[in-house]
Structure formats: structure tokens, C-alpha cells
Structure 1
Amino acid sequence: MRNTSYTSTQIIAKEGWNQIVFVFMVFLFSYALSFLPWIFFLIFGGTLYSYRNPERLQEEDDAHCIVAPIDGIITDISKIGLRDGSEALRIVIRKSFWDVGVLRSPLAMEVVDIKKRFGLFLASSSPLFSQLSDRKTLTCKSAFASIKMVISAGLWSQKITLFSKLGSFKSGERLGFLRDGEVALLLPLDTRVKVSLNDEVKAGMSILGYLAYKDNDVK
């Protein structure tokens, strides 16, 4: 099933249009009343900046390549146990309010299942964030492996937006929007990681690593 997203290449993501119009109207009102218009203009500029939607080009053209799904900082690279008894490699990217909020597909894949956990909008630095945050977990299949993408909303997020519930995505294709929070990728243990803790990454462009080549893969 092919993904049919409702937003693609707008300079400003649709998710911010209502807020931008509202803040702009407040600015015009403050300007008409000569009531601190420069403050409201800065707020308008900051809101506009937080919903920017730039075009991105992947650094490499390799089907095994995993690109960053969101802008931010690498805060964790570790091996974890899953509920089914298996293990996975987890890479966590923490996004700030000022990073680009567009979520992108980390590789060519199909989203086969989405689970929603209703929770609170907490600061991603909070010790309760992983247990109580609002979250969506995407189960995805590529030609080489199955992965999970765990999207957790932070303090400044109003919701986690996905453009299509299920479907196939190209590597780096826009698939949603997250204003604040973090994204964790759960990958096979034999994934070759190319990033380190505290590295800054860009969605759809920065390479996180490579899925392992198997004997029947074409290199």
C-alpha cells in the first residue's frame, strides 16, 4: 500500500499554519495599539522558524543505510531487551523545540503497525519521561530487516502527527511531525553504527549506520 501524505514540500509545515496565523494576528493587534509590537514580532518569527520544512538530501545512496528520522542530538546507543525476549540495538535522538520537527523515514520501509500510548507531555530530560510520555510505536519492515520507531512527545508538543497511518515510504521521505520530544530506533544487533553519543544529526540526511549485509544481499 502506497503512502498518501497530506503534506510534502511546503516551506512551512502545515501543522503550524493555524498557530502562525494566530500569532501574526496578535502581532498586528499589538502593532495597532503600539503595545510592545517588537516582542510579538519576535514571537511570530520564532513560531515561523519552529515549523520550517526544509528540503534534505541523503548523504549516501545505499539501501542498507539508516538515516536520522528527526533533527537532534544522539543521547543513547545501547543494547536493550524486548518484551518478546529478544534484544535490539537502540539509538535515541532527542529533539529540541528549535530543531526541525519533520519526521522522516530512516530507510525504505513499510509501516505495518502503529501502537498508541496515551500519556503526559513532559520534558524529555525528566526521569519520568520514558514511563509516562505520550508515545507512538511504529513497527516497520524493510527489504533487509524489521525495525521499530518509538516516537515520544515532549513538553512543547501538542500531539504526534503521522501523515499516513500505514503504508510504504522511501528513505528520507516525510512521514510526520513532532514539535518536541525524542525518537528511538530499535534495530537489529548486527547493525553497524556510524554515530556517537552527543553527535548532532539532521533528519533525512545524517547517516546513523547500516543494516548488516547478508550473503544473498547485493553489495
Structure 2
Amino acid sequence: MDNLKVISKYGYSKVAIFAGLFILSLLFGVCEYLFGFLLLLSIFIYRNPERLPAIDDENAVLSPVDGKIEYIKKSIYNSKEYTEIMIKNSLFDSGVLRSIANLKIKEIRAKDGLNLLSNDVNKNLINSRMALVCDISGKEVIVRVNLGFGRKVHFENIKELKAGRRFGFIVSGRVSLFLPTDTRLNVSVGNSIKATELIGFLGDK
């Protein structure tokens, strides 16, 4: 069942902790503004906005997360060439991860890294990351999440997803899409994009 509440279920415990601290601060008259701010910040970080797919097309590829497109380039993944689109999700963007199409998840790959705190794209490639190897209408697409310092990705244990369906959460990081090279893109470097907005269309082959 998709999580439709105002706060993502992955943030329930954090928000509850800060809510408890805020109540205690009111009772004892200590640092009320600080704990009130932390409570509001936790609610903001774990907000769970609704996003509806921008288009109903089996070849459409949607954004998996809110953020800004850092680069688009040809990349090799497992000895195959793809078009890679990297989206940077900041602390101010919603961290809800959503399905980029109607897809089947063939494999989830995890790689431990150093978890460095850096804005450098190349350094972030040695950080911990998770990758979903997906099948969309017979075509292989990879969704890879690169994590920063002390951050964690949450994934649902689901094998099939409808377009726009929530499947996880990150508290900032970078999400890369590895798409077939014949994908027709509708975005450019520097574009700000919301989850479920159109990235492009898979080729007909």
C-alpha cells in the first residue's frame, strides 16, 4: 500500500522524538524555540507530497526524485553503454523516491563506500550506493542512489511498481538514471525537476 500520509513513514520516529522533546521543553520552560524549530525541520525534511505521473505512456521515463540535473553523459555500467542522468537531491528537496515507469525490479545491488561529505561528483562515486536494475517494456534501466555522509537510503521490498509509486526515501543524495542510449530526452543540465515529471521517452527498438 502506498504511503499517502503527510509525513513519510520513514520519518515517523524522528518526528516523534522531536515532538516529545518539544513538549518536554514547554513543560520545563527550556529551549522551547530551539526544539520547536527542530520539530518543524524534521517535519519539513520528511514531508511526503503527492506527485502524479506527468504523462501516461509506457515508454515515458519519469524523474525518481525532486532535485536538479547535474549532468547528462554517456556512461558504462556492467560493460554496457547507457545515457546517464544524475539528479542532485538536496536537504530542501523532498526525499521521497518514486517509480520512473511501470517496471519490474530484477535485482537490487548495494555497495559500501566511504560516506564522504562532498559536493564533488567524482568523490561521491566512492560513497555508499544502492542500485535497482529494472525492466521497462523489455528494456533494462538502472536507478542508482549515491549517498553522502552519514546518510541512509530506504527501499521498499517490492518487485513490481506502477509509475509514480513511492518505493523509498533519502535525506539528500544523488540519484542516477542509466537509460538506453536511444532514449529521447526532454531535460537539460541545470533543470530543476520534481519527482514524476517527464525525463524522456525510451526508444521504440
Sort the TM-score into its range (normalised by shorter chain): over 0.9
CA distance in 1, matches of 2:117, 2:188: 23
Q: Which amino acid aligns with 1:69?
A: P
1:140 deviation in Å? Answer: 0.5
1:117-172 Cα distance to aligned partner (Å, 9 max, x none): 122333351442111x1111111001141111111122352x211111x5111111
The question of whether the paired residues in 1 share the 8 Å contact of 2:153 and 2:169 is answered with yes
Structure with the higher strand share, 1 or 2 = 2
The question of whether the paired residues in 2 share the 8 Å contact of 1:156 and 1:179 is answered with no
Paired residues, what number?
204
1:176 paired to 2:171: no
> Which of 23, 31, 36 is the aligned partner of 1:36?
31
The question of whether the paired residues in 2 share the 8 Å contact of 1:155 and 1:180 is answered with no
TM-align CA RMSD = 1.5
1:20 paired to 2:12: no
CA distance in 1, matches of 2:77, 2:57: 28
> Which of 93, 109, 113 is the aligned partner of 1:99?
93
CA distance in 2, matches of 1:190, 1:141: 16
Q: 2:144 is matched with which residue?
A: 150
Q: 2:110 is matched with which residue?
A: 116
Q: 1:128 is matched with which residue?
A: 123
TM-score, with length taken from structure 2: 0.93
Could you list the structure 1 runs, at least 4 aligned residues long, displaced by more than 4 angstroms after superposition: none
> Which of 175, 199, 203 is the aligned partner of 1:208?
199
The question of whether the paired residues in 2 share the 8 Å contact of 1:93 and 1:182 is answered with yes
TM-score, with length taken from structure 1: 0.88
Q: Which runs of 5+ in 1 are unaligned?
A: 215-219
Say which SS state the counterpart of residue 200 (structure 2) adopts. Answer: strand
Say which SS state the counterpart of residue 43 (structure 1) adopts. Answer: helix
1:58-109 Cα distance to aligned partner (Å, 9 max, x none): 221111111100111000100112342x211000011011211111111111
The question of whether the paired residues in 1 share the 8 Å contact of 2:3 and 2:9 is answered with no
More deviation in 119-128 or 70-79? 119-128
CA distance in 2, matches of 1:144, 1:83: 18
Say which SS state the counterpart of residue 125 (structure 2) adopts. Answer: helix
Q: 1:217 is matched with which residue?
A: none
